[in-house]
Amino acid sequence: MFVAVIIAIWEVISKLGIFPTFMFPPLIIPSVPGGVTVFKTLIGGIFSGQILAATGVTLSRLLIGFFIAVVLGLTFGFLIARYKWVDDTLGFFVTALQSIPSIVWFPLAIVWFGLGNTAILFIVAIGATWTMTVNSSAGFKNVPDIYINAARTLGSSGSHLLKTVILPASVPHIISGLRVAWAFAWRAIMAGELLGAAGGLGYLLDLGRSTQAMDLVLSIMIVIGVIGTIIDNQVFLRMERSVARKWGLRT
């Protein structure tokens, strides 16, 4: 019902032509599509398979890059938490690199890998790795000493200690890191595809921009927002709440 009201208001405003000129300059965008027009374009793109195919390409790239970021983030996080000299060196650089937007790496990605999937995967991985590193290192550092001492007393050490004590005790921080890292990766892949990769949602967004098809642009923006919201709420938020209840952090 709420969505229908929004579309109706949008349609009326577009028909009356009262969109603010600072948002939609008439010399740049001849006409602002109404909500019904955008909705028709969205439905048409879904049923034609164009948007679904682009979504599949984007998500496949995203999953690969995100997996790389998680592996690197957990590894770096453990090393930072385990060794003080790593914390004093790598930990400092991670904090600095986390403040650099992932899109800033795109010129280097083009030079190193050229325009293509490898450059996009690099942008996604670099955008999510440092956030994952910071959260996982915080989780590893905050494992209560009593847990580790008790496990060592019972003979646990090395990889067994990591698998049975340190990782489980760090799960709340790791899940929070996954959620934030996914958000950074989602933004990074949109920027990467927008600047130079064929086949994904970013490519369709740039195609709509170049042809001044604002209905396509707005349709893709809606798809991006809906997918990001669904994944965050239905996957990571549920996972975070489940872990919080299990660890007694939430009733």
- Predicted TM-score (pTM) of the model is 0.79
Domain spans of the chain? 38-246
Place of tokens 């790791």: 174
- CATH match of 38-246 with 3.40.50.620: no
pLDDT one digit per residue (tens) for the chain, 251 residues? 655 666 666 566 655 555 555 455 554 444 455 556 777 777 777 778 788 888 888 889 899 999 999 999 999 988 888 888 888 888 788 888 888 888 888 888 888 887 778 888 888 898 889 889 988 888 888 877 787 778 778 777 777 777 777 777 778 788 888 888 898 888 888 888 877 666 788 888 888 777 777 778 888 888 888 888 888 888 888 887 777 776 655 65
Query: How far apart, in whole angstroms, are the C-alpha atoms of residue 127 and residue 102?
Result: 5
Query: How far apart, in whole angstroms, are the C-alpha atoms of residue 246 and residue 251?
Result: 9
